[in-house]
């Protein structure tokens, strides 16, 4: 899966001015056209790494590559990189700056110099997709935190980057909006967009990501397909992560001889269909 990376970090090290070593020789590849999740405890270095992916931070050692080429840090190269790699910040307050939601979401596409019609198509599309149309005339600073997060996502989606990086996309969102955002990522991913996100939600990473990296103390301590990563109990313990509930329930069913399938379910429906025995909902429905 990683034969064709769109982004790479090669031995990237970075320290903040106060002396905090946030990344220690991190090497990794982001597979093109896939959804990659980053897990890891607070302070692991996920946000710091993401800020390297579109050149907001510059490595103190090592390098970042986009589409096979080293990232360069002159003004033009950075503008070009940021057209291709869009970041939704962890904290929407650091991203939103316009007076109204409409101005906010249209700022990026207008700046790209696109024809007006294309700008409105993208802006309306991004607002509809994130459920923010009804907020369009509201000042961004009066929105609730979850609404801000959705506007911040619309902001970047309207730019149609080749890589969408989203730092904790579902933090602060209610369950319905969280699902909606993840479905949206699936849709854009289906159209070829590479998606990268960080999360503290193991269930989300397990069921939504194609590939997972686990970070701790500024380093990658594990990686693999979701089923590989969550099979490694030592790794999970080291990272302080739980196993997804779907896997726990399935393993318990298997232990009791109640599972008919021999692979981990990715959805609730797959879990239900792996349970041996009568279909109770059908048998109950009969008179
Ligand atoms: N502006 C900053 N100045 C100094 N240290 C910082 C700064 N930003 C982050 N750090 C430190 O760098 C390390 C990595 O932080 P980072 O925000 O990248 O972690 P994270 O994995 O994104 O954590 P979280 O899950 O809490 O978002 C931490 O020790 C943090 O305290
Ligand atoms: Mg973070």
Q: Encode pLDDT of 183-194 as tens digits.
A: 989 999 999 999
Query: From ligand 1's centre to the CA of 49, what distance in Å?
Result: 10
**Three-class SS of 255-286:** HCCCECCCCCCCCHHHHHHCECCCCHHHHHHC
Say whether both 193 and 224 belong to one domain. yes
Range of the domain at 162: 5-241
Query: From ligand 2's centre to the CA of 41, what distance in Å?
Result: 9
d(CA 259, CA 125) in angstroms, rounded, equals: 43
Give the mutation target among 44, 56, 167, 200 for probing the ligand 1 site: most ligand atoms within 8 A of CB.
44
The domain spanning residue 130 has which CATH number?
A: 3.40.50.300
Is the CB–ligand 1 distance for residue 228 below 6 Å? Answer: no
Q: Starting from the edge strand earliest in sequence, which strands make up the sheet with 85-88, in order?
A: 85-88, 163-167, 194-198, 35-39, 211-216, 219-224
Q: Which segment of 46-55, 153-162, 261-270, 272-281 scores lowest on mean pLDDT?
A: 272-281
Query: From ligand 1's centre to the CA of 285, what distance in Å?
Result: 54
Residue 113, pLDDT score: 85
Say whether both 158 and 281 belong to one domain. no
Q: Which atom of ligand 1 is nearest to the CA of 51?
A: 18
Q: Residues 259-273: what's their mean pLDDT?
A: 90
Residue 12, pLDDT score: 98
Residue 287, pLDDT score: 45
In the DSSP assignment, the letter for residue 206 is: H
For 146, the enclosing helix (H) or strand (E) is helix 145-157
Is the CB–ligand 1 distance for residue 16 below 6 Å? Answer: yes
Q: What is the pLDDT of residues 18-60, one digit of tens each?
A: 999 999 999 999 999 999 999 999 999 999 999 999 999 999 9
Using CB atoms within 10 Å of the CB of residue 64, give its burial: 0 to 12 exposed, 13 to 18 middle, 19+ buried.
Answer: buried
Residue 259, pLDDT score: 86
Residue percentage of the chain with pLDDT more than 70 = 96
Residue 285 has pLDDT above 60, yes or no: no
d(CA 107, CA 105) in angstroms, rounded, equals: 6
Is the CB–ligand 1 distance for residue 97 below 6 Å? Answer: no
Residue 261, pLDDT score: 80
Say whether both 208 and 136 belong to one domain. yes
Is the CB–ligand 1 distance for residue 51 below 6 Å? Answer: no
CA–chain centroid gap for 267, Å, is 18
CB 214 within 8 A of CB 222: yes
d(CA 45, CA 39) in angstroms, rounded, equals: 10
Place of tokens 């579902």: 170
Say whether both 125 and 33 belong to one domain. yes
Q: Using DSSP, state whether 39 is helix, strand or coil.
A: strand
Say whether both 226 and 277 belong to one domain. no
Say whether both 286 and 255 belong to one domain. yes
User: pLDDT band at residue 278, thresholds of 50, 70 and 90?
Assistant: low
d(CA 250, CA 275) in angstroms, rounded, equals: 8
Is the CB–ligand 1 distance for residue 21 below 6 Å? Answer: no
Residue 286 has pLDDT above 80, yes or no: no
CB 112 within 8 A of CB 83: yes
Q: What is the pLDDT of residues 67-86, one digit of tens each?
A: 999 999 999 999 999 999 99
User: pLDDT band at residue 262, thresholds of 50, 70 and 90?
Assistant: confident
Query: From ligand 1's centre to the CA of 52, what distance in Å?
Result: 13
d(CA 182, CA 109) in angstroms, rounded, equals: 23
Say whether both 286 and 227 belong to one domain. no
Number of domain units in the chain: 2
Q: Residues 233-248: what's their mean pLDDT?
A: 97
d(CA 110, CA 197) in angstroms, rounded, equals: 26
Say whether both 74 and 100 belong to one domain. yes
% helix, strand, coil for the chain, step of 5: 45, 25, 35
Give the mutation target among 13, 16, 87, 197 for probing the ligand 1 site: most ligand atoms within 8 A of CB.
16
Query: From ligand 2's centre to the CA of 137, what distance in Å?
Result: 30
Closest Cα to residue 2, out of 287, 232, 223, 272?
A: 223
Query: From ligand 1's centre to the CA of 45, what distance in Å?
Result: 6
User: pLDDT band at residue 279, thresholds of 50, 70 and 90?
Assistant: low
Q: Residues 122-139: what's their mean pLDDT?
A: 95
User: pLDDT band at residue 260, thresholds of 50, 70 and 90?
Assistant: confident
Q: Which atom of ligand 1 is nearest to the CA of 20?
A: 5
């Amino acid at each position: 899966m990683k034969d064709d990376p769109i982004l790479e970090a090669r031995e990237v090290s970075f320290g903040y001015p106060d002396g905090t070593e946030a990344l220690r020789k991190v090497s990794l590849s982001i597979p093109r056209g896939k959804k990659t999740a980053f897990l890891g405890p607070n302070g692991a270095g996920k946000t710091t790494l993401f800020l390297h992916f579109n050149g907001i931070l510059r490595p103190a050692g090592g390098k970042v590559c986009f589409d096979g080429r080293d990232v360069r840090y002159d003004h033009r190269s950075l503008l070009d990189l940021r057209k291709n790699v869009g970041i939704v910040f962890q904290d929407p307050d650091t991203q939103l700056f316009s007076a109204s939601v409409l101005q906010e979401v249209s700022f990026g596409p207008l700046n790209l110099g696109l024809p007006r019609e294309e700008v409105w198509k993208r802006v309306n599309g991004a607002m509809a997709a994130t459920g923010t149309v009804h907020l369009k005339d509201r000042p961004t600073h009066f929105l609730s935190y979850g609404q801000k997060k959705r506007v911040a996502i619309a902001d970047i989606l309207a730019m149609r980057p080749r890589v969408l990086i989203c730092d904790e996309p579902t933090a602060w969102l209610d369950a319905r909006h969280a699902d909606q955002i993840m479905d949206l990522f699936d849709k854009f991913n289906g159209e070829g967009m590479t998606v990268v996100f960080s999360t503290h939600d193991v269930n989300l990473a397990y069921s939504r990501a194609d590939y997972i990296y686990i970070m701790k103390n500024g380093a990658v301590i594990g990686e693999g397909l979701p089923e590989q990563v969550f099979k490694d109990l030592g790794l999970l313990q080291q990272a302080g992560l739980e196993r997804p509930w779907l896997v726990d329930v399935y393993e318990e069913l298997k232990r009791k001889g109640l599972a008919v399938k021999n692979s981990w379910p990715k959805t609730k429906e797959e879990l239900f269909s792996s349970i041996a025995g009568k279909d109770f909902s059908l048998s109950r429905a009969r008179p």
